[in-house]
Amino acid sequence: MSEINKKTVCPLPWLHFSAHLDSTMRICCNSDHLGFVFDDEGKTMKLRDVSSISEYFNVKYYKNIRSKMRNGEKPVECRKCYEVEENGGASVRQSYLECYKDNEKFNESFNQTKPDGEIEPKVQSLDFSLSNNCNLKCIMCNPDASYPLKQDFDKLGFEYSKEFTQGAHINWKDETPIERLIPEITEHLKEFLTTGGEPFLSKTHIAALKIIIESGKAKDVTLSYHTNCTIRNEELFRLWDEFKHISVHFSIDSHGPLDEYIRYGTKWEKVLSNVEMMLEKKNVHAEVHTCVQALNIFNLPELYDWIATLKNRIPSLPYHIWMHHPSWLHINILPREIKQGALDRLKKHFEENKNGKDHFYEERSTQICSYLERSIRDEQDLEGLRVFKERIRKFEKLRGQEPVENLVPELKCLFE
Ligand code: SF4
């Protein structure tokens, strides 16, 4: 691959098969709604509309993306990745390129790409956002991704896309496309990412895993998940033994009662026992993923202390997700002096715990402090704060939750 190609090419349009929450086909989960794949009539496609893998990868839309990437152009569908790179960050594209740069099948497929972008697809990566079936009602979520939230949003009169929510609720229930397409995909398969909703609740996922196991290819495949850690699915955990590796991202935003408040429906004791159980399995690699937001910015040290009790079985700090949506939970709604207090607390924690920690710890602790420092320089989002106060109280009343300031006293001043 030439140096020019390295600046624009992403392996995913060559080898990745991905479907959104409502089973709409997309280039990848990072391409958002911009990355929906269109058929030759210009219509989006659901998983059930894919008649064969070869036909799907060679619709005009896909060919055009690949030929642009090969010609040193940046397709607009992938702008999120290119923007990150232009701002000096590391993009998802770059991480996939690093991962697949010496992959024989990808290089063969790339080198044999026809001038118009046509390929003989060898799918190595699957990525299904398997419906909005979920058991929790997290405060930052919406009915698109958690069907039970529909009831709360309806009662409170909050807006959401009814059509998408319904599609995400029913479109994955038909397992026929999985039974038809997965056997065609398994030959070269290396990785299978499943998100939700809550993926551990998905029957479709179990059906897909059984087909992969029957094909005899499971030992070549790594399974990846984002899970809320509240579901113990014994059948799924037994099937894991057949696969090469299991990579699990524990979605946990705080420790104990505050996690129960943010991720409504969570029982912390259940999280603890499920995390222990997953970490006991030999082929499981895990880390905590934390949505950094106005509600948990003060309490991150308690979360870090709990992670430390897991004694080196997972990375010592979580992967921090800078939460932008919904904007009323962004840390920019907080006054500067409050954020300064949170920053001082974090710095003190890192100073007291730095001994014996690795480069990775240093990198993540620096990132979270820089994020707060940048936010302290930003203007406070007063409109966001207004919505925050209104919505928090409405959710608390509907759910019979105690006021958030009982759990996070630093937020008390916002309501005075
Ligand atoms: S460049 Fe980025 S958005 Fe485009 S397919 Fe690759 S990872 Fe997805």
Q: Is residue 13 part of a domain?
A: yes
Expressed in angstroms and rounded, the spacing between residue 91 Cα and the centre of ligand 1 is 8
For 350, half-sphere exposure in the C-beta direction (CA atoms, 13 angstrom radius) is 19
| One domain for residues 100 and 35 | yes
Q: Is the pLDDT of residue 33 over 70?
A: no
Residue nearest to atom 7 of ligand 1 (CA): 93
| One domain for residues 183 and 226 | yes
Span 215-268, pLDDT tens digits: 999 999 999 999 999 999 999 999 999 999 999 999 999 999 999 999 999 999
| One domain for residues 190 and 281 | yes
**Domain encompassing residue 42:** 3-117
Question: In the chain, how many domains are there?
Answer: 2
CATH number for the domain including 266?
3.20.20
| Alpha helices, DSSP H, located in 112-200 | 149-156, 162-170, 176-185
Q: Is residue 235 part of a domain?
A: yes
**Lowest mean pLDDT across 96-105, 130-139, 329-338, 351-360:** 351-360
| One domain for residues 255 and 401 | yes
Is the bond preceding residue 72 a cis peptide, omega within 30 degrees?
no
Span 290-321, pLDDT tens digits: 999 999 999 999 999 999 999 889 999 999 99
| One domain for residues 7 and 84 | yes
Terminal Cα distance for the chain, rounded: 60
Q: Is residue 44 part of a domain?
A: yes
CA-CA distances (angstroms) from residue 409 to 258, 298, 307, 321, 348? Answer: 12, 9, 23, 23, 19
Q: Is residue 288 part of a domain?
A: yes
Residue nearest to atom 4 of ligand 1 (CA): 78
Name residue, tokens 């009323």. Answer: 328
Mean pLDDT, residues 63-89: 92
| One domain for residues 19 and 72 | yes
Span 199-218, pLDDT tens digits: 999 999 999 999 999 999 99
The full DSSP string for 296-342 is TTTSHHHHHHHHHHTTTSS-SS-EEEE--SSGGGSGGGS-HHHHHHH
What average pLDDT is seen over the chain? Answer: 95
> Could you identify the atom of ligand 1 that is nearest to the CA of residue 75?
4
| One domain for residues 92 and 171 | no
Q: Is residue 122 part of a domain?
A: no
Mean pLDDT, residues 7-31: 95
Q: Is the pLDDT of residue 49 over 80?
A: yes
Expressed in angstroms and rounded, the spacing between residue 346 Cα and the centre of ligand 1 is 33
Q: Is residue 320 part of a domain?
A: yes
Mean pLDDT, residues 143-161: 97
| One domain for residues 330 and 390 | yes
Nearby residues of 403 by Cβ (< 8 Å), 6 or more positions away: 396, 415
> Could you identify the atom of ligand 1 that is nearest to the CA of residue 96?
7
Best residue for ligand 1 mutational test, from 7, 8, 10 (most atoms within 8 Å of Cβ): 10
Q: Is the pLDDT of residue 32 over 80?
A: no
Instruction: State the Cα–Cα distance between residues 245 and 222, nearest whole angstrom.
Output: 5
| One domain for residues 180 and 280 | yes
Q: Is residue 222 part of a domain?
A: yes
